[in-house]
Chains A and B, each alone.
Chain A
Amino acid sequence: MSEEKQQIDVGSLSFEESMAKLEDLVKRLEGGNLDLDESLQVYEQAVALREHCRKILDESDRKVQSIMETASGEKRQDFSEIE
């Protein structure tokens, strides 16, 4: 019962990894082979992953940059359209 909690560091996962992991956990829960403790543990992780995904989705600030090769290497700068 008191097995080590395989806590994953949700914050470090990419969106793609989080979605895959979330789907995996939901399937495990649905599989129904877990006892109450395990189920709650999996549920807890799934909630954290879902919140992580939602957070990424709702982050509205994105970077729009242009990149150019210069003599001194790559140069990036913010890009906005010229109206």
Chain B
Amino acid sequence: MSERLTVTELNTRVKELFGSSPGLNGVWVVGEISNFKLYSSGHSYFTIKDAGSEIRAVMFKSARSRIDFAPGDSMKIEAFGHLDLYVERGSYQFIVESMKKSGIGDLYQRYEALKMKLEAEGLFKTERKRKLPQYPRTIGVVTSPTGAVIHDILTTTRRLFPVDILLAPAQVQGEGAARSIVAGIELLNRAGVDVIIVGRGGGSLEDLWAFNEEPVVRAIVASRVPVISSVGHETDFTLADFAADMRAPTPTGAAQMAVRDRAEIHRQLNDCTLRMNKALAAVTERMRARFNSVDAKLSPRRAQERIDYLGMKLDDLSSRASSAVRDRVSVMHRRLLTVEGRPEPALKATIQRKRGAAELLLARVEPAMRAVCVNNRYREQKVSVRLDALNPYSVLDRGYSFVAGPDGRAVTSVKGLAVGSHITVRMRDGKAEADITDREEYQ
């Protein structure tokens, strides 16, 4: 006996049949739009027809955001989607997931085929990508001389880092565009630029087509100089973008990739200056520390004073020497830079003389101080010994005594010493008071 079904059951079965049938899912339908209606919900309802037949179609709001044109009546399109049954009405309709203007389908297939082929060759591999130069001197640009690309690049580089720009004007759409772009890339490679930006403004898939052509992709790969692509809008990906070393979302972005911000480099230079000064100060500080270690070995007071004096002089001379040399060197270099162009012997001699003077300044650093500064333990010790010898107290260690008169001054002669005079005898570890009981003067 045959099955008995409700209408709903039957339609539901048909719906399921549609859903499980590969021939009705994920297909392209070619035709013309009619009765197009866009509802406030964002969904569109229309008919797709050709010379022999027609089908009702729905495009939901979510799919609409994926297409880059506004569909309308009489438009020839290719719609991608699946067949579905609207159970309540028992009517079937084509659910459009994506849509293109007709003719483009062809291009799209070529794009996919070429992409697969070049990908298989490894042309899009990350390992192939070259690093951009940090500080390019000349940026080559392959684009239209009247488009937004060259304008944005000129504006942005003027602001960030005014490098030289070499433009290879190219036709960026239409017949012959690919040839023109390839010629531009090759020409700029010969001209010796440091990095190349190739691109054009936004447009339809057909407008951007040149950047999907094999010769352009191969020219980018073959370029000796790194290439930044900036084609169309952020969402358009061309094969040129895959092949380029960097892909910029906009021409401004391309310029930002190509050059560093000058202000940032200035900050880096200032940072270098701080580090240099700090390092030089550390050298002086280190010398003082070395000096202090000598100082520590010489406990007696006189030596202490001498060392304090030398230390002061060292600080003074070393800071004078370093700042004088620093100033003179920068003056000399500035002069050298201006003079270099015109070889005047007199000027060169002046510079030579100034350099000599700066060196003399260094040489004036007191020899005693230098001896202490040199990184040489032997010399350090020698100085220490010499200072020891100057120290009157050190002889007391060797058994000598120090005699002072009533006025506290050293007594070096018996002349003036009478019997009964009071003297003070200083030894290594103390002093004794004495009165003269006898005296004899050697002849």
The chain A residues found within 8 Å of chain B, CB to CB, are: 10-11, 14-16, 19, 22-23, 25-26, 29-30, 32, 34-37, 39-40, 43-44, 46-48, 50-55, 57, 59-60, 62-69, 74, 76, 79, 81-82
Contacts and interface: CB of A to CB of B under 8 A. Distances in A.
A55 B373 CA distance: 36
A26 B269 CA distance: 11
A69 B187 contact: yes
A38 to B, nearest CB: 9
A64 B326 contact: no
B333 A26 contact: no
A65 B268 CA distance: 30
Instruction: Give the residue among A14, A25, A64, A69 with the most B Cβ atoms within 10 A.
Output: A64
B98 to A, nearest CB: 39
Chain A interface, >50% SS class: helix
A79 B145 contact: yes
A50 B269 contact: yes
Interface string B264-290: 011011001101101110111011000
B48 to A, nearest CB: 45
A57 B166 contact: no
A48 B269 CA distance: 12
A61 B329 CA distance: 27
B272 A35 contact: no
A82 B169 CA distance: 13
A14 B134 CA distance: 12
- Chain B: interface size category: 35 or more
B151 A81 contact: yes
Rank and list the top 5 A-B pairs by shortest CB-CB distance, nearest first.
Answer: A29-B279, A62-B162, A44-B329, A66-B167, A48-B333
B375 interface: yes
Interface stretch (B13-21, B86-94, B317-325, B403-411): B317-325
A29 B278 CA distance: 9
A65 B280 CA distance: 45
A19 B162 CA distance: 17
Nearest to B279: A29
Contact of A40 (B187, B278, B286, B321): B321
Given A11-B337, A30-B275, A51-B333, A74 B280 contact: no
Contacts of A69: 183, 187
A62 B280 contact: no
Nearest to B188: A67
Interface in B167-212: 167-169, 183, 187-188, 190-191
Given A57-B262, A81-B151, A29 B280 contact: yes
B130 interface: no
Given A40-B322, A62-B164, A10 B333 contact: yes
A35 to B, nearest CB: 6
B269 A54 contact: yes
A53 B276 CA distance: 15
B167 A40 contact: no
Given A14-B137, A79-B145, A44 B272 contact: no
A79 to B, nearest CB: 5
